[in-house]
A and B are shown apart, each in its own frame.
Chain A
């Protein structure tokens, strides 16, 4: 019974390159959430997706960041033209359904370093 899977676990990119982070939710889960965590801080919500739909992207920066959750395959968080300030741990969570009362299970995270 695999949990939420994220890859890669560590990603190094030079400024200006693109970063692609992948998240496979728990089996049977169709709700995916992306969070970003800066050092010594709590997690900050970025985006909430269901299959093929973005439900809430209020935490996503307006430029360079995008997310998708296709009908088949993992959810992808894409960061174009990365800058040093994008260096952080990015966590994906999934839930059986949305809304409160439904536990969000977190993956191990992808640690992005921009050089």
Chain B
């Protein structure tokens, strides 16, 4: 069935370090993935997306890597800042193309 999950519920890093947040998915037919950031009391905020015909996509300070062989997705944040502290969710579009399926999230804590 369709399932998107994350490896670790929490990640703590020092300011300036690089952060890597991982996500495993089970549906090998999935072809579109998104990373969202959710700060406390707010709605999810789009970070970056990637299609299955790509292995890597870069944004501003963020990189998403997709390994279709092992059905693994990761989000890399360079030079992590305190403002990056939030819960990060990976999500995939369902097969019907009508909804996002979210994983449970990783809480990133950045200390100064």
> A residues bordering B, Cβ < 8 Å?
4, 33, 35, 40-45, 48, 55-56, 58-59, 91, 93, 98-101, 103-109
Contact = CB atoms under 8 A, between A and B. Distances in A.
B99 A56 contact: yes
19 contacts: A33-B99, A35-B100, A40-B104, A41-B104, A42-B103, A45-B100, A45-B101, A48-B98, A55-B98, A56-B99, A98-B97, A99-B97, A100-B31, A100-B32, A103-B49, A106-B36, A106-B43, A106-B45, A109-B42
A56 B96 contact: yes
Interface of B: 31-32, 34, 36, 41-46, 49, 51, 89, 91, 93-94, 96-105
Q: Identify which of B41, B44, B46, B49 gathers the most chain A CB atoms within 10 Å of its CB.
A: B44
Q: Identify which of A42, A99, A103 gathers the most chain B CB atoms within 10 Å of its CB.
A: A42
Given A100-B31, A100-B97, A101-B51, A43 B46 contact: no
Contacts of B43: 4, 91, 93, 106-109
Contact of A105 (B46, B96, B99): B46
A78 B91 CA distance: 26
B64 to A, nearest CB: 14
Top-10 shortest CB links A-B: A42-B102, A106-B43, A45-B99, A56-B98, A100-B32, A100-B93, A99-B97, A43-B102, A48-B98, A106-B44
A103 B42 contact: no
B11 to A, nearest CB: 16
Contacts of B31: 100
B46 A103 contact: yes
A93 B36 CA distance: 13
Contact of A98 (B44, B89, B91, B98): B98
Nearest to B42: A108
A105 B44 CA distance: 8
A17 to B, nearest CB: 24
Nearest to A44: B102
B98 A42 contact: no
A51 B59 CA distance: 33
